[in-house]
Structure 1
Amino acid sequence: MPANTTTATDRISPTQGDDSSSSFQTDGRRERGNRNKAAVVAALLDLYAQGEIQPPAARIAEIAKVSERSVFRYFDDMEDLSAFAVELQWSRVKDLYENLVADGNFSERLAAIVEQRLHLYDKVESVYQVAVLAARKNTVVASALKKRRSILRHQTMKQFAQELDNHPDSANARRILDFTLSLENVDYLKSAMGLSSAKSSETLHAAVSILFHLQH
Structure 2
Amino acid sequence: MDRAHYLLPQSNDDGPSVDGRRRRGQDSRARIVHAMLDLVREGDVSPSAELVAGRAEVGLRTVFRHFKDLESLYGEMSAVIEAELMSLADTPFKATDWRGRVLELVERRGWAYERIAPFKRAFEVHRHQSTALDVHNAKLVAGAREILRRVLPADLAADRDLFEAIDLLLSFDAWRRLRQDQALELDATTKIIQAMISALLDRTAAA
The answer for unaligned runs of 5 or more in structure 1 is: 1-8
Alignment-derived partner of residue 145 in structure 1? 137
Alignment-derived partner of residue 90 in structure 1? 82
2:167 maps to 1:209: no
Is the Cα–Cα contact under 8 Å of residues 15 and 30 in structure 1 kept in the other structure? no
Cα shift at 1:30: 1.3
Q: Deviations over 1:117-158 (max 9, x none)?
A: 111112222112222222222110111111111111111122
Percentage of matched positions with identical amino acids: 23
- What does 1:55-134 correspond to in 2, within 5 Å? 55-99=47-91, 101=93, 104-134=96-126
Q: Deviations over 1:35-64 (max 9, x none)?
A: 011101111111221222222110110111
Aligned residues: 199
Q: Alignment partner for residue 52 of structure 1, among 40, 44, 47? A: 44
Cα shift at 1:92: 3.1
2:156 maps to 1:164: yes
Q: What is the TM-score of this pair, normalised by structure 1?
A: 0.80
Is the Cα–Cα contact under 8 Å of residues 45 and 89 in structure 1 kept in the other structure? no
Cα 1:116–1:83, aligned 2, differ >3 Å: closer, same or farther? same
Q: Alignment partner for residue 176 of structure 2, among 187, 197, 200? A: 187
The answer for unaligned runs of 5 or more in structure 2 is: 1-5
Alignment-derived partner of residue 30 in structure 2? 38
Q: What is the TM-score of this pair, normalised by structure 2?
A: 0.83
Give the Cα separation in 2 of the matches to 1:100 and 1:203: 24
Letter of the structure 2 residue corresponding to residue 195 of structure 1 = L
Cα 1:14–1:39, aligned 2, differ >3 Å: closer, same or farther? farther
Give the Cα separation in 1 of the matches to 2:13 and 2:53: 27
Alignment-derived partner of residue 3 in structure 2? none
Is the Cα–Cα contact under 8 Å of residues 41 and 81 in structure 1 kept in the other structure? yes
Larger Rg: 1
